[in-house]
């Protein structure tokens, strides 16, 4: 029991540490709704392609998001349902009016 709880706590601490950055948190909120590519995220957040790519690399490196290539675009989505459920709850608490 204790090992299982510790493992789950460790996994969620990785996710929560990634969400400590506001840009990454908003990216994750947007990816809860649908998969998106860098240009869509850039347009929604109003920041540079390089900035978005940097945050996506961090999230991908922590195995929080996954990607797939279609033509010349790379689409990103949330890797697992547990993380998606957590983000949906945090989004309702923090920014319920976010429509993306």
Share of the chain above pLDDT 70, in %: 96
Extents of the domains making up the chain: 2-94
CB 35 within 8 A of CB 75: yes
Fold held by 2-94? Arc Repressor Mutant, subunit A (1.10.10)
Under the banding of pLDDT at 50, 70 and 90, the label for residue 99 is low
**Selection from 55, 81, 60 nearest residue 44 by Cα:** 55
CB 55 within 8 A of CB 19: no
Model confidence at 87: pLDDT above 90: no
Provide the H-helix boundaries in the chain.
2-18, 22-33, 38-45, 49-61, 81-94
Could you report the per-residue pLDDT of 51-78, keeping only the tens digit for each? 999 999 999 999 899 999 999 999 999 9
pLDDT at 92: 79
pTM of the model: 0.84
Could you report the per-residue pLDDT of 26-37, keeping only the tens digit for each? 999 999 889 999
Q: In terms of pLDDT, which residue wins out, 82 or 62?
A: 62
Name residues whose C-beta falls within 8 Å of residue 59's C-beta, 6 or more positions apart in sequence.
18, 24, 27, 28, 65, 76
Under the banding of pLDDT at 50, 70 and 90, the label for residue 100 is low
């Amino acid at each position: 029991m204790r090992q299982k709880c510790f493992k789950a706590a460790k996994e969620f601490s990785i996710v929560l540490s990634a969400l400590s950055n506001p840009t990454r948190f908003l990216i994750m909120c947007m990816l809860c709704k649908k998969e998106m590519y860098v240009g869509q995220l850039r347009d929604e957040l109003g920041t540079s392609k390089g900035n978005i790519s940097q945050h996506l690399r961090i999230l991908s490196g922590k195995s929080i998001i996954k990607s797939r290539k279609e033509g010349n675009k790379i689409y990103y989505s949330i890797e697992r349902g547990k993380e998606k459920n957590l983000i949906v709850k945090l989004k309702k608490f923090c920014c319920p009016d976010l429509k993306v």
